[in-house]
Amino acid sequence: MNAKLLLVFSVVVNVALGVAYFKKEAAAPAASPPPPATVGSVAPAHAASVAGPKLKTQIVVQTVTNTAVQKIDWRMVESADYRQYITNLRAIGCPDETIRDLITADVTKLYEARFKALRPGGTNKFEYWKPGMAMFKEMADETQVEKRQALSREKRALLTELLGSAPEEKPDLMAMFGGGNPFERMLDFLPSGKQTQAMEIEQKFAAKLMKSMDGGGFGDADGMKNMLKVQKEKEAELAKLLTPAELEDYNLRMSQTANMMRFQLTSFAPSEQEYRDVFKVKKRFDDEYGFAGVPPTDKAEREKYDAAKKELETQLKQTLGETRYADYERAQDYVYQGLFRFTEKQQLSRDAANKVFDMKKVAEEQAKKIRNDSALSSEQRQAALAGIRTETETAVTGVLGPQGYEAFKKASQASNWLKQLSPDPKPAKQP
């Protein structure tokens, strides 16, 4: 995936998470006492785990003559059974609409805990250093999807039994996201109030960022300058909301540098500390020159950019060491990404991907020398390039095996470089 698509995708994901977050906030009814109630197949232990301490809120009922005031504590209407709780609420004159809101909110809270318990390990922690979009892969896991859908059906059946009908059919965010909004998981280190404010800032500047890409300006130096300007404005506004430590943790999860790193470093699979170390170096460069690798067109600016890029590579090599830096460098190569995915799918080792990638580099160097050799005729050049391709194909087959090589040829991102060495031979003419 190229840099522009990565950027657009990351912006869209952040906005989508924000929309989901605000929908959840808007859908939540006004504060109400959560009764420790259960019914049907819901175990009492679950209800107890989410009910919490009883509220001290009181209902005050005044008579028309204003001669008496009756104070009714919630303890007078709470019950360990939802049906009895509904009966008690109706007995004190609670409107049906309010009863629906109270019961729906309580059941939703009960099932939110059960949805969260379905997650692997039952954890709410967002492992921001993991490459790719591990959180979204978890959401799409077939077994997890089936379990969440079953729990969602159970929840609707319970509400239908209690209220005569479940609330109006809407996308169930808890079922979709596995018991909550992913945005809340990503920013679990922030209080909910700051999460909401940060999401408002994200949406505001995502609109500005998308506008800065209008007209195809993303791929040129001026377009990148506009985008960097928007990014700096957003970070300045976030800095007013968050403490320095919170802003650092926020950027590790939500910045464009973080999003690009997670997509580009799948095969690198950094540890948390490696991710933080690389991020620190990368973000300094990205803040100055952008995260899409678009060099300036001005000669003086280009020289400055090239020097900074070289310094970036030196710092990363010192930070990671020679071996891990080699892994880091390979991970960012488009062809290597295809090779890595291919060998994973074929259940081959990472070493197989590395060997084929090294063969690619050797073959391309040899082909470059052949193409630059002016002493060769066109026919000699073509024959020499075809020979390099044949030798390389034999070597790749030795690593992948005959069946693996046949599958490899069909994986275009992994194998198209062979055709760039020398075109496929033309099929023989039929007599």
Query: At 262, phi and psi to the nearest 5?
Result: -65, -35
Domain holding 305, by residue range, is: 191-331
Q: Which of 130, 153, 184 is at the close of a domain?
A: 184
The answer as to whether 19 is a domain residue is no
Query: Is position 45 within any domain?
Result: yes
Q: Are residues 169 and 236 in the same domain?
A: no
pLDDT at 246: 96
Tens of pLDDT, residue by residue, the chain (431 residues): 445 545 554 555 555 555 555 545 544 444 444 444 444 334 333 333 333 333 333 444 443 444 444 454 555 666 668 888 888 888 888 898 898 888 888 888 888 778 777 765 544 577 889 886 555 565 556 777 788 788 888 888 888 888 888 776 555 555 555 545 667 778 888 998 999 999 999 988 888 877 766 655 555 667 677 888 888 999 999 999 999 999 999 999 999 899 888 888 888 989 999 999 999 999 999 998 887 667 778 889 889 999 999 999 999 999 999 999 999 999 989 899 999 999 999 999 999 999 999 999 999 999 999 999 999 999 999 999 999 999 999 999 999 999 999 999 999 888 999 999 998 877 656 55
201 found inside a domain:
yes
Q: Which of 184, 200, 235 is the last residue of a domain?
A: 184
Asked if residue 7 is part of any domain, the answer here is no
Are 263 and 179 contained in the same domain?
no
266 with 356, same domain: the answer is no
Place of tokens 């991020």: 279
Q: What is the pLDDT of residue 117?
A: 75
Are 116 and 240 found together in one domain?
no
- Number of neighbours of residue 85 by Cβ within 10 angstroms: 23
CB 159 within 8 A of CB 167: yes
For every residue of 212-229, DSSP letters joined together read HTGGGGGGSHHHHHHHHH
pLDDT of 11 reads 53
Residue 8, domain member (yes or no): no
Identify whether residues 326 and 250 lie together within a single domain.
yes
Same domain, 319 and 341: no
Check residue 351 and give its pLDDT: 93
State the pLDDT at residue 371.
95
- Greatest CA span in the chain, whole angstroms? 113
Q: Say yes or no: 257 and 300 in one domain.
A: yes
Give the whole-angstrom CA distance, residue 24 versus residue 7: 26
* Residues 415/343, Cβ–Cβ less than 8 Å: no
Residue 23, in any domain of the structure: no
Structural domain total, the chain: 3
* Alpha carbon distance 41, 391 (integer Å): 66
In a domain, 144, yes or no: yes
Residue 68 placed within a domain: yes
Kindly state whether residues 327 and 372 are assigned to the same domain: no
Please tell me the distance from the alpha carbon of residue 155 to that of residue 297, in angstroms, as a whole number. Answer: 59
Q: Are residues 138 and 261 in the same domain?
A: no
